[in-house]
Amino acid sequence: MTARKGHIAEFPPTDLSPAELRFKQEVADYLDERLPVGGYRRSLGIAALVDAKFSADLGARGLIGMYLPAEYGGSGKTAVDRLVVAEELLARGAPVGYHWIADRQMGPSILANGTDAQRGEFLPRIASGELSFSIGMSEPDAGSDLAALRTKAVRDGDDWVVSGSKIWTSGAATATHVLAAVRTGPGKRDGITQFIIDLHRPGVRVAPIEFIDGTRDFCEVHFDDMRVPDDCRLGAVGQGWTQNTGELALERGGVDRWMSLMPLLDEWSGRCDRSDRAAMEYLSAVCWGLRGLSLSIARQVDSGHSPVVEAALVKELGTTFEQECLRFLSDAFGGTPKPDAADEYEALLAKALLIAPSWTIRGGTNEVLRTIVAKDIRS
């Protein structure tokens, strides 16, 4: 993958082809049936409910791991195709929690960096929606400064002994695996290695943390001198940092970074009165603009580039915009939404108010993203 040599303010504009539009319609038709309006609990973007059955159904439909080659359970589809599916899922607030991370970044990473055995073992089961991955990166003393991580792996024969703790690991309590970044050497960056760790093996404990909205998706993951075979190692020793960076364009530049409130915006848009109409139009227009940027990033990825800076720019803009959307929605609601309201819109609005600050924090804080963009602007 090459970095795209271009100007940060010049994202190549693009739109879907007729074939991509037909694919979008197929996905929409399937989801209309599988998730009938009122027939499921809506989620807010990627902080979504974990529903292993839904993930399995999507997998059976071929909508997870689509970019994988057919031999691994995919259909060789593109990043743009994945964006199309993501839009349809997130617009509906679909329960994508179980497979999202596996699909978004573990699949591509294992495809790029894994051994044939690893690809054979993990990729088909990611594509089928059977596996659920969590991201084992942050630690109590290593958040934005990820290279300061201390969880270590020491070689012992054919195994590694892993010890240390990860924190803020979303989904670890329901996941099958964690992709852990651990220290295998002294170099700040070249001493980090990734391991695919089975969370059901002995030696690892997952402790849920109660989030501000009462959910327990956030976790601590403790490795108590856990013995893992060397064939769990993803990529070469010391390559963890580089591999992780490669995932960033995918993780950060997508529509998931500005679609958290889409189900609420959609519902509000349908029933807002004349006084809210100008606000609704403005928010819709900016969503449309952000979509143009996300589409461009996906297209750039498909062209073999690694638009990491572009992704950082869009994530920072998108997540900030989500806060603005929430302000309009909450002003329009008036009064105090109840978290346990029977009306799902109200309950989701209450939840959104509480968890919104996490959108500008997770997956790279806006401060870190700004640092990345600023470096590019100054160069």
Partner 1 sequence: MSETTISTGDPELVALVRTLNQDLAEENSPFNSELWSAMSDAELQLIGIPEDDGGPGGTLSDLVATVFECARAAAAIPLVENWLAQYLRAKAGLGIRPGVSICVGPAELGRTALSIDGLTWAPHADELLVIEGSEQASAVRPVTSWIADATTRYDLAGQPAQDVEIPLEGLGEPGPVAHGEFVTVTNLLRAAQLGGAIRGCFDLTRGYAAERHQFGVRIDSFPAVQQHLIQLAQAAAITRVSVFRAAAATEATQAARAARLVSNEFARVAIRCAHQVHGAIGMTREYHLASLTQRLHWWRQADAHLAAKPHEGQTMFIDDVWLDTAEAAQR
User: At 305, is the secondary structure helix, strand, or coil?
Assistant: strand
Q: Give SS3 for 188.
A: coil
Choosing from 189, 227, 291, 347, the residue that interacts with partner 1 (CB under 8 A) is 291
CA distances from 349 to 38, 44, 320, 345, 372 (A): 17, 9, 17, 6, 32
Closer residue to partner 1, CB minimum distance, 115 or 320:
320
Nearest alpha-carbon partner for 233 in 133, 165, 161, 148: 161
- Residue 33 CA to residue 196 CA, distance in Å, equals 35
Q: Binding marks (x or -) toward partner 1, 39..78, rule CB under 8 A? A: ----------------------------------------
User: Which residue bears the tokens 């391991």?
Assistant: 195
Q: Is 231 in the site for partner 1 (CB under 8 A)?
A: no
Q: Which is nearer to partner 1, 217 or 316 (CB)?
A: 316
The H or E element spanning position 192 is strand 192-198
Binding region for partner 1 (CB under 8 A) out of 40-48, 128-136, 197-205, 311-319:
311-319
Respond yes or no: is residue 251 known to be catalytic: yes
Among residue numbers 251 through 290, which ones bind partner 1 (CB under 8 A)?
262, 265-266, 269-270, 277, 280-290
> Is residue 316 involved in binding partner 1 (CB under 8 A)?
yes
The yes or no reply on residue 323 touching partner 1 (CB under 8 A) is: no
The answer to whether residue 313 forms part of the interface with partner 1 (CB under 8 A) is: yes
Does residue 132 contact residue 177 with C-beta atoms inside 8 Å? Answer: yes
Pairing of strands 177-183, 133-136: parallel
What is the phi/psi pair of residue 265, to 5°?
-60, -40
Pick between residue 44 and residue 123 the one whose CB is nearest to partner 1: 44
Q: Is the dihedral of CA 12, 291, 57, 103 positive or negative?
A: positive
Residue 319 beta carbon to partner 1: minimum distance, rounded to whole angstroms: 12
Nearer Cβ to partner 1 (41/277): 277
Residue 216 tokens read as: 């327990």
Asked if residue 9 binds partner 1 (CB under 8 A), the reply is yes
Backbone region of residue 231 per phi and psi (left: phi > 0; alpha: psi in -120 to 50; beta: other values)? alpha
Q: Does 371 bind partner 1 (CB under 8 A)?
A: yes
**What residues act catalytically?**
251
Instruction: Enumerate binding residues for partner 1 (CB under 8 A).
Output: 8-18, 20-21, 24, 80, 87, 262, 265-266, 269-270, 277, 280-293, 296, 299, 310, 313, 316-317, 370-371, 373-374, 377-378
